């Protein structure tokens, strides 16, 4: 887990919108998108339409809608984060 991934995971113990992550992490959108994509590919995070409604894989359009999603760490992601 990279330092950037660790920092992002640190923010995702609760559902957070992309805008919050940009603000808190002081990363640009391109870099944050890249980190989120890597975490998503490893199933360490999942995406939501809002605070309650999960985006399932068959509806996920990460490349085009990543800025509109909310994010949350998965159990696997939390274990990886805490094990670092």
pLDDT, one tens digit per residue, over 63-76 is 999 999 999 999 99
**Which of 83, 81, 82, 68 lies closest to 39, judged by CA?**
81
How far apart (Å, rounded) are the C-alpha atoms in residues 36 and 48? 13
Domains of the chain: 3-82 (1.10.10.10)
What secondary structure does DSSP assign to 25-61, as a single string? HT--HHHHHHHHHHHHHTTSEEEESSSS-B--GGG--
- Taking the C-alpha atoms of residue 84 and residue 64, their distance in angstroms, rounded to an integer, is 31
Average pLDDT of the segment spanning 33-50? 97
Predicted pLDDT of residue 83: 86
Whether 84 has a pLDDT exceeding 80, the answer reads no
Kindly state the DSSP code that residue 14 receives in the 8-state scheme. S
> pLDDT tens digits, residue range 4-41?
999 999 999 999 999 999 999 989 999 999 999 999 99
Grouping H, G, I as helix, E, B as strand and the rest as coil, residue 79 is: helix
């Amino acid at each position: 887990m990279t330092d950037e991934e660790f920092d992002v995971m640190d923010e995702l113990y609760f559902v957070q919108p992309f805008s919050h992550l940009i603000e808190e992490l002081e990363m640009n959108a391109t870099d944050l998108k890249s980190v989120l994509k890597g975490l998503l590919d490893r199933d360490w995070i999942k995406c939501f339409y809002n605070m309650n409604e999960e985006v399932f894989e068959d509806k996920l359009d990460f490349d085009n809608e990543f800025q509109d999603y909310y994010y949350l760490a998965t159990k696997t992601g939390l274990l990886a984060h805490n094990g670092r």
